[in-house]
Chains A and B, each alone.
Chain A
């Protein structure tokens, strides 16, 4: 949906994934969409360079999130929120509805 604007369907999915998950790391996104890890990493680094995303190290993992200091954060989030409305329930369930509540260690499900 945002492909004409973002010039990449992958970038749209990456941004939507981060928006709905709060923070995410490259291999998590790549596995979720079955994208090449290098493609995801390049998109993430370009978005970070442009000030759209921030990144931080947590242990050995580099997490990316939408930069709260990005001048167009509010507008970008409104655009992503509207995009979600045009996505099928099935796709939303599959990619954009994360479990946010904690899961106790050792719990089988």
Chain B
């Protein structure tokens, strides 16, 4: 694997390889922010959420086929600075399940990831529940670079009981 491979190319290779080997997983977290903001925010952490429970031995075997070795909780590859983590199902943003999964195509390979709107919800969940200002900044960055359904984000925020904090986010968007 090339040392300077971009996060996008790497994510596409991993996602496609997982899918072809029967592991249904969706990229979430900071890596989606990197992809949706054309690297304005840099993440070295590729979090894949499994859509169903999977034997960890199978994940280990499939990841080894593309050169990744398990180091503690994470998978690492000598040729890249990135590390990969697998999170347990369900794929959710706050209390709600994720209903639509986005795809990015690179040649014949496909990356499955959160949509820009769900990516914003995912970052806002960290701001809402942990008061993490970096996550708020990332949510704003995604909104400034992608088409995001703010009516849906507002509805979701209300459902999370976070209408007041949504107003903070809305002020930062201006």
Contacts and interface: CB of A to CB of B under 8 A. Distances in A.
Interface residues of A, number: 8
Interface stretch (A4-12, A68-76, A81-89, A98-106): A68-76
Given A69-B94, A74-B95, 10 more contacts: A49-B73, A50-B88, A51-B87, A51-B88, A68-B130, A69-B126, A69-B129, A71-B90, A71-B92, A73-B95
Interface string B70-95: 00010000000000000110101011
Interface string A59-78: 00000000011010110000
B97 interface: yes
Interface in A15-74: 49-51, 68-69, 71, 73-74
B87 A71 contact: no
B126 to A, nearest CB: 7
For the complex, would chain B's binding face be called helix, strand, loop or mixed by DSSP majority? mixed
A45 to B, nearest CB: 9
B23 to A, nearest CB: 17
Contacts of A68: 129-130
B161 to A, nearest CB: 10
A49 B88 contact: yes
Interface in B93-152: 94-97, 125-126, 129-130
A49 B89 CA distance: 10
Nearest to A54: B130
A51 B86 CA distance: 11
Contacts of B126: 69
A17 to B, nearest CB: 21
A71 B97 contact: yes
A71 B98 CA distance: 11
Nearest to A50: B88
Contacts of A69: 94, 125-126, 129
19 contacts: A49-B73, A49-B88, A50-B88, A51-B87, A51-B88, A68-B129, A68-B130, A69-B94, A69-B125, A69-B126, A69-B129, A71-B90, A71-B92, A71-B94, A71-B95, A71-B96, A71-B97, A73-B95, A74-B95
Contacts of B95: 71, 73-74
